[in-house]
Structure 1
């Protein structure tokens, strides 16, 4: 294993931030992530899980916020519903430099909290 990252996001805090700054969703999430979240009854829970995933990836790589653009880390879903990652730009370069060959990702959320665990493997 190269690294592991975990992150928790308070759903209500993110909800407040998105309401206060509507452009925040565009800055943090790719069009695919926004489409997926906005299809839900409560999009904020899905947004929170995806934001947690982005932070968990950065932690697994041993870097801080700002090391990659938010759009460089995208959470996608298989037909089965399983989440996975697509890294581009600086996130991809950091991942490649660290020797990451594949990623494991798990997401979960309640109405109050979202969690993501990202594991970087050779």
Structure 2
């Protein structure tokens, strides 16, 4: 049986969906592009309720930042980090997290997203 890598850090975040529900392209493009990658924006705005998907991805980015800073693998403020991580879904719907920063590319992360009408939550385990 293969070894399972122990997580280096775990992070969780919850966001109010209403913070993102009114965001529109192109009106809020400048704000949205500071947080989300073009592929994330395409995915979220392709949904009937983009706000819940934006909020879930923002929660995942904050959770990843918390996991990495807790593991002392990241010494960065949140704002520059947001665009260094991307959350997209596999064809089966499972979310996948990718790190773009050269310092973090070798890291592996598991992410779980959920949302209700009011809140979006994410948990991230980084190894």
TM-score category of the 2 structures, normalised to the smaller one: 0.7 to 0.9
Closer/same/farther in 2, CA of residues 2 and 67 from structure 1, 3 Å limit = farther
Asked if residue 80 in structure 1 is aligned to residue 87 in structure 2, the reply is: no
Counterparts of 1:95 and 1:7, CA distance in 2: 22
Q: Report how far residue 71 of structure 1 moved.
A: 1.3
Q: Of the two, which has the highest radius of gyration? A: 2
Counterparts of 1:69 and 1:61, CA distance in 2: 11
Deviations for 1:28-80, whole angstroms, at most 9, x for unmatched residues?
11111001100111100000000000000000012564374321110021111
**Structure 1: 5+ residue runs without aligned partners?**
none
**Structure 2: 5+ residue runs without aligned partners?**
1-6
Q: Calculate the TM-score normalised by the size of structure 2.
A: 0.79
What is the aligned-residue RMSD (CA, Å)? Answer: 2.0
Q: Report how far residue 94 of structure 1 moved.
A: 4.7
Asked if residue 40 in structure 1 is aligned to residue 47 in structure 2, the reply is: yes
Deviations for 1:61-114, whole angstroms, at most 9, x for unmatched residues?
12564374321110021111100111012xx51575xxx4x2110000112100
Q: Calculate the TM-score normalised by the size of structure 1.
A: 0.82
Q: Which residue of 2 aligns with 1:110?
A: 116
Report how many residues are paired. 113
